[in-house]
């Protein structure tokens, strides 16, 4: 078992193994910060696919109502700026707050997608939601 930078999924069956891995670190005499918080899975591949589908839907709608052609990448940046929560990323001791959908957990990603959906509803933009989408399972099938 390795200590990953994103944490370890702690449960009853791996508690002792984690303790055995941490024990040598403590023998050095150094102090460490241990934070225990509920486990949340990272955003899912289907959530990511839905986001990119919607970016394309909005880019197409925006391009139809403009003299400019818009891309799904532009819409991705636009929506990240509007709705993606900033998260801390630390490199070489320097912490920056970045907006990245890669850093969202499944719950945060659902909330992010919901905000995009509402933004589109307010503007009359139709979004596709595949019939087998996780988004339906979470009760977000209003579009």
Q: Is 98 helix (H, G, I), strand (E, B) or coil?
A: strand
Domain ranges of the chain: 1-39, 45-137
Q: Could you tell me if 43 and 101 are in contact, meaning their C-beta atoms sit under 8 angstroms apart?
A: yes
Q: CB neighbours of 107 closer than 8 A, spacing ≥ 6?
A: 40
**2: Cα separation from own chain's centroid:** 23
Task: For the chain, 143 residues long, give each residue's pLDDT as a single digit of tens.
Answer: 456 666 666 778 877 777 787 888 888 888 877 777 776 778 889 999 999 999 999 999 999 988 999 999 999 999 999 999 999 999 999 999 999 999 999 999 999 999 999 999 999 999 998 887 777 665 554 44
Taking the whole predicted model, whether its pTM rises above 0.85 is answered as no
């Amino acid at each position: 078992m390795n200590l990953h930078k994103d944490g370890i999924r702690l449960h009853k069956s791996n508690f002792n193994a984690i303790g055995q891995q941490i024990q040598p670190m403590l023998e050095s005499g150094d102090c460490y910060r241990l934070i225990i918080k509920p486990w949340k899975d990272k955003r899912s591949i289907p959530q990511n696919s839905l986001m990119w589908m919607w970016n394309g839907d909005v880019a197409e709608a925006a391009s139809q109502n403009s003299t400019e052609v818009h891309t799904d990448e532009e819409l991705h940046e636009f929506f990240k700026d509007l709705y993606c929560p900033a998260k801390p990323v630390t490199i070489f001791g320097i912490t920056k707050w970045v907006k990245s959908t890669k850093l969202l957990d499944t719950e945060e990603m659902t909330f992010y997608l919901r905000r995009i959906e509402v933004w589109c509803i307010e503007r009359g933009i139709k979004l596709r939601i595949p019939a087998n989408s996780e988004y339906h399972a979470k009760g977000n099938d209003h579009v």
